[in-house]
Each structure stands twice: as C-alpha cells, then as structure tokens.
Structure 1
Amino acid sequence: MRFVFLVTGLALIFFVGWLVSSDRRHIKFKNIGIMFALQLIISFLCLNTTGGIDFLGAISAFFSWLMDQAAGGINFVFGGLVIQKGASVFFLSVLMPIVFISALVGILNYIKVLPFIIKWTGWLLNKVAGMGELESYFAVSTAILGQPEVFLTVKDQIPKLNEKRLYTICASAMSAVSAAVLASYMKLIPGKFVVTAVFLNILSALIISGIVNPYELTSEQENEVLIPDEDLQKEPFFQVLGNYILDGFNLAITVAAMLIGFVALVTFLDNSFQAILHISFTRILGYIFSPIAFLMGVPSKDITHVGSIMATKLLTNEFVAMGEIQKVATTLSPKAYAIISAYTVSFANFSVIGIVTGSIKSISSKQGAKVAKMSLKLLLGATLASVLTGTVVGLYF
C-alpha cells in the first residue's frame, strides 16, 4: 500500500502542476525523473538505514546542543524564565535562540565556509539534474540562508532573468527554510523530519518548477559563472556579526508578531464558527484538505487532523502548524505524523508572498512587478513541493 499512495500522491502533484503548466509539451521528464530518484535515495538513506538514522540523530543532537548554548545569553537577559515550562515562554525557548543561530550563520558566511559549501553543492546538483548553474546554486543557498538575504547573493543576476527563471528561484525560496530556524523547528517536531525535509525540499522545488514552469537554457545560461557579492568581506567582522545578530532578533520578533496575530485570528474564527455553525473553522478546513492528505498516504482516521494542519500552515505559517502538530501528536499514526511534520518544513504560506515580492522589488522594481503578478502560482508551486516532500517521507512509514 505504501507504493500505491506514493503513486497517488505523485499523480495528484503532476495533475495539478500539469493543469497550471506554462508549457506542457516541454516538461523535462528526464530531469524530473533524475531528481525524484535522488529524493528516494536521500530519504531511504536518512530514514531507513542505520547510518542515516545515526547521522540525523547526530545533527539533531548538535542543534539541541546549540539551543543549550543559546540559553546562556537568554538567561542572562531574561533571568530564569527560559527554564520554565509552558507556552508562556515559547518566545524565549523557541524563538530567541534564532538570534544565536543567526550569529553562527553570519560567522560561517564571513569566513566563506557557507559560500564554499553552497557553490560546490550547487555545482554538483547542476551536473546531476541539469537545471542550470544559477537555479541549482540558488536552490542550495536558499536552504541555508533563508529570506530575504538569499536574494542578495544573486542580486546582479536578478534584473537579467526572464520571467520563467525568476519563477524558479522564487519558488525555491518559498519551498525552503533558513538554517537559523532549524533548531527552533526541532523544539516542535522531530529533528529527523526537519533535516530530511530540508534536503528533499531543494529537489522538490526544482521538480515542481520543471512541471509548472519548464524552459530551455542556452549553453551560456547553463554554465554561467556566478560572481558572489564581495560587500560582505569588505565590512569589518564585528559589524557583520552585529548585523546578523540584529537580523536574527528582527526575525524572532517578526515571527512572534505573526504568531500572535495568526493564532488569535484562528482562535477567533474557530469560536465564531463554533457559535454559529457548531463546527470549528479548522475542522472545516480539515474536511477540505483531507482528500489531499489521503492521496499523500495519510491513514483515513488521521486525514481530517492532518488536512486541518495543512490548511493552517498555508494560511498562517509553519510555526503555527507545528504547534498544532504538538497538540495532536499522540493521536496521530506514525505515518501521518511523519508526513505532516515533513510537509510543514517550508516557508510556503500567504505571508511569504509579500516577503518574496518585496525582496525582489528592492533589487529591481520591474522584476518585483513580475513576481507580484505570479504570486499565487508561486504559492501553488511551493505548496506542491511541500506535498511532494511529505509524500516521499511517508513512503518509509
């Protein structure tokens, strides 16, 4: 049955992608097949082998250790509040560590460790999948740097991109997550699903773009040399570090504000619908999304819960959705838990449309206008990428 639901999930993804495809006759089936095979290999190694499980366990333990280190700075500023239990300190225990992780990312970026990893991983991905140097580089970098910083790494190329290539890089940005928030995710869902989803999302975004937005590159475009932004290295180290720390703090504050607003809004809608229709708003969303959850392989008894979380993630953000997963984790089957956990590890939601559009517009107003016009198609593509990642992970449970 596992392979049956893999087929149904893939059929759903391809059908929806094919319906909105800009060029159905030139879908790159070969490239898509290679990348999907890579997904199966990566997910098998990560979730179904002793070495892979130990590797993911080590990564999870490392991020847990980083969270403990972050607690030192948080305790100094906020006293003993961080060691208390409960939702009242979610901001301190889950969001504030983003500041420390962001500082580490800044250091690794400054000493050129991250640029080296991104460059050669992107080069290898391009050689294997043939999606283009820029597209492959960006897909890898967005899984580490996050938004909006990742767009600055290709700011010289953005004004020159046609609409189709612009779609691909924006879809990659919406399908990925930032390394700065991985540790915070691991406080909410198992680290093995977070890490696996990060790997798979890189390929999922390119696969969906290959269906929704196929195009041919010239030989020059396929191997174009990317010139990294040297501005970072021209700035003093402590200035760069300070900027990353402030960026991390601003990100934590932004996420907190979004959580307050969205959770309150969902609570308001739930209570209003319950009073008027005697059924909650999230339950209605669960029924709407349950067929998608079923085709992804979620067991029948869990499809309403999972469908509701899928819809919540789309309308709000991944933190709200992960919080909902925590509430029902003990009632979900292992397969449903794996699928919905992997699904939530991405930035694909309505609020990110504004971030992506604003980021591109700050570099090129003309390109920003193009992104705004295709924003809903971008969200659909990024959501399909999340569905693909969840479907692949579900194969092993």
Structure 2
Amino acid sequence: MQYVISIIGIFVVLFLAWIASSDRKKIKIKPVITMIVIQILFSLLLLNTQFGLIITKGIATVFTKLLELANEGIAFVFGGLANEGESPFFLNVLLPIVFISALIGILQYIKVLPFLMKWIGFVLSKVNGMGKLESYNAVASLMVGQSEVFITLKKQLGLLSKQRLYTLCASAMSTVSMSIVGAYMTMLEPKYIVTALVLNLFGGFIIATLINPYDVNPKEDLLEIEDHEKQSFFEMLGEYILDGFKVAVVVGAMLIGYTALIAGFNYVFQLLFSISFQELLGYIFSPIAFIMGIPFSEAVSAGSLMATKLVTNEFVAMLDLSGGNYQFSERTMGILSVFLVSFANFASIGIIAGAVKGLNEKQGNTVARFGLKLLYGATLVSVLSSIIVSLVI
C-alpha cells in the first residue's frame, strides 16, 4: 500500500506543477518520463546496492577527513573556547565551511570545476531537453553555490529571456552547495544527502519542464563561462576563504534568529491555543508528508519539520530532526532527510534575487517578481525527490 501511495504522490506532484504551467502546450512529456526513470535508477543504485554503499561511504569518508583537517585551523584560532566535552555548532559544523570553500576555490582556479561543470552539463542537456546553459547552471549551482553561480554567467544574464532565467534560478534553489554538504553530514546520514543531491539535479529539470516550458534556439545557447584568471592564486584563495567565513557567519546569524523566533511563536501559540506553532504547521503539511510515503501516524510530526524548513531554512529543520525527540521509523527518516537537502525556503528568494540584481538590476527585479513561483517549484522538487526515495527504501 505504501508504494501505491508513493506512485499516486508522483502524479500529484506532476499535476501540481502542470496546473502552474506558463504554457501547457509546450510541455515535453518524454524528457519528464525519462528523468523520473533515471531518478528511480539512481535511488536504487545509491541506496540498495553494494556499489552505491561504497560510493556514499567513500564520499562520507572524504568529507569526514575534510572536517578533521578543518578542525586543525579552527582549534588553532578558537582552541580552549569551548568547555571540554562540549561541541559548539558554530565551531564544529559551520566554520569547516571556510576550509571547504577554500578547496572549491583552488579547484575552480586550476580549471577542474569549470571542466566538470561544462561537460557534465553537456551530457545532461542530451537528457533533459533543455539548453546547455541550463544544464551547466544546474551542475555549477551544486558545486559553487546558489548565489556564486550567477557570477560565472554574468555575460549571459542580460540576454536571457524570463523563461530561461526562471529555470536557472529554480536549479539554484533546488540544489545545495558542496561547501556545506560536510555540515549536513554531521546531522543526517550521508547516503541520503548524496542521493538527494543527484535526485534534485534531475528533479529541478522535471518541474521546470512542466512549470516553465520553452524551446531553446541552438544559436542562442552559447556557453561562455566567466573567466577569473586575472586574479593571482593568493588573491583568489583569500577571496574564497573570506566568502566561506561570510557563509558560516550568515548561516549562524540566521540560525540564532530563526530558532529564537520559532521558540517565541511556539510559546505564544501554546499560551493562546494550547498548541505550538510547529504542531499547527505540522497539521497543515501532513497531507504532503503522507503522499511522500510517510505513515499517517508520523505525518503531523514530519509535516512540522517540512514547514520549519520552508519558513526558516534547512539547518534549523535538520537540527530539529537530529536533536529532537522524534520516534520516526528508519524509512521516514530517509524520506525526510532527502526533503531537507535543498535551499527551497523563503530566505532563498531574497538571496537569489539579490545575487542576480547585483550583476544585472533589471533581471534581478524579474527574479523578485516570480519569487513565490520559484519557491513553489523548488518545493515540488524536494517533494518529488522524497517520493522517489520512498519507492526504494
């Protein structure tokens, strides 16, 4: 029965994307079906095979080692700040982002990342029925981040149609940056994080194909990646280190504010209505949790976490999931973990619109105008990825 619900859930998600479509006559069904099949195959590979276990363990081992190395620098600067046996979230989870950001900068500088982004994007363009630019952008968003990716597309931004701009922004919101994957792995099982990264990549194309269908003229699909070779190595390294620190501080500030606000809302709602704010959100989101394959007995609690992620950010929800007193089954934990791995939240609308506006004011205003539709699509991507996982675990 649970698999029947998941299959129905896929059709519900596709229908919700279809009703929001800007031009239903232009929707290409074949790429949608192809990519759903690819999602299922990747889920089976990563979660249900020995080879997939080796891949996810290998990736987890790499990030574990990176976190250990990052702690060398953190201990040098902040050693003795925490009491013995204590594990402050900012020091152990957020500050390693600085080191990983520096590594990404080095890989970018020596042309490894641009090479991977260009050719993986080229392969994806043969599957998704979209342009090379859209495919490149999806891979680049995953590797360098949702705001930084637009810097590499600075030359093209002013030339893009509203439809293509939507797809680029949707990909940026549906994925997560590699610089913070290590932080996620301290809170969730690595196998679900790796699976979510892959599924969201294809899910972004599926939902964008339905919500925002259009044809790309090959002559207008020139892919010129912005070249930053003018910087010296140490200029680049300093820039990426500072960018990583800014991300850590911004995420930390967001967590302080949002966690306190949620606690405040819970207190007020408990006083006035004898139900916490998160519980109320849980009831609202429980039907969505149910079609994702989560049992109805766990749907309200799961819906609460889903809503928390949407109105705050994924870190707040992950902390709640990993540190809360939830008695979720292993299957529900897997489905929820995949849902949480994305930037689909209200704050991301401002982040992406601001990043684009900083490069091209007119296009930034365009992004701001379709912000809610962007969040709607990115949330459907997370729901779809979770449903796909529910079919194989």
Return the TM-score normalized by structure 1.
0.96
- Verify the 8 A CA contact 1:103 1:244 in the aligned structure 2: yes
2:135 is equivalent to residue 136 of structure 1: yes
Give the match for residue 150 of structure 1: 149
CA distance in 2, matches of 1:217, 1:107: 33
2:329 is equivalent to residue 333 of structure 1: yes
Give the match for residue 392 of structure 1: 388
Q: What is the Cα-based RMSD across aligned positions, in Å?
A: 1.3
CA distance in 2, matches of 1:81, 1:204: 43
CA distance in 2, matches of 1:62, 1:329: 30
CA distance in 2, matches of 1:56, 1:41: 15
Give the match for residue 108 of structure 1: 107
Matched ranges for 1:60-139 at <5 A: 60-81=60-81, 84-85=84-85, 89-139=88-138
2:345 is equivalent to residue 349 of structure 1: yes
Look up the SS of the partner of 2:225 in the other structure: coil
**CA displacement 1:219-250 (0-9 Å, x = unmatched):** 324xx3311211x2111101100000000000
Give the match for residue 206 of structure 1: 205
CA distance in 1, matches of 2:147, 2:296: 39
CA distance in 1, matches of 2:80, 2:190: 26
Q: Which consecutive aligned stretches of 4+ in structure 1 deviate over 4 angstroms post-superposition?
A: 81-87
Return the TM-score normalized by structure 2.
0.97
CA distance in 2, matches of 1:120, 1:84: 47
CA distance in 2, matches of 1:329, 1:150: 37
Aligned mate of 1:378, from 359, 374, 383: 374
Give the match for residue 25 of structure 1: 25
Give, as a single letter, the amino acid of the residue that structure 1 aligns with 2:294. V
Range with bigger deviation, 89-98 or 5-14: 5-14
2:267 is equivalent to residue 271 of structure 1: yes
| 1:264, distance to aligned residue in structure 2 (A) | 0.3
**CA displacement 1:14-39 (0-9 Å, x = unmatched):** 12112211112221111111111111
CA distance in 1, matches of 2:382, 2:81: 35
**CA displacement 1:124-181 (0-9 Å, x = unmatched):** 1011222110011101110111031100111111111111111000000000100100
Matched ranges for 1:207-356 at <5 A: 207-221=206-220, 224-230=221-227, 232-328=228-324, 331-356=327-352
Give, as a single letter, the amino acid of the residue that structure 1 aligns with 2:54. D
| 1:274, distance to aligned residue in structure 2 (A) | 0.5
CA distance in 2, matches of 1:200, 1:84: 40
Q: Percent identity?
A: 48
- Verify the 8 A CA contact 1:75 1:82 in the aligned structure 2: no
CA distance in 1, matches of 2:321, 2:84: 21
| 1:393, distance to aligned residue in structure 2 (A) | 1.3
Q: Where do 5+ consecutive residues of structure 1 fail to align?
A: none
Give the match for residue 164 of structure 1: 163
| 1:42, distance to aligned residue in structure 2 (A) | 1.1
**CA displacement 1:100-134 (0-9 Å, x = unmatched):** 00000000110011111111100110112221100
- Verify the 8 A CA contact 2:131 2:218 in the aligned structure 1: no
- Verify the 8 A CA contact 2:3 2:390 in the aligned structure 1: no
Alignment length, in residue pairs? 393
| 1:41, distance to aligned residue in structure 2 (A) | 1.3
| 1:3, distance to aligned residue in structure 2 (A) | 3.0
| 1:337, distance to aligned residue in structure 2 (A) | 0.4
CA distance in 2, matches of 1:83, 1:220: 61
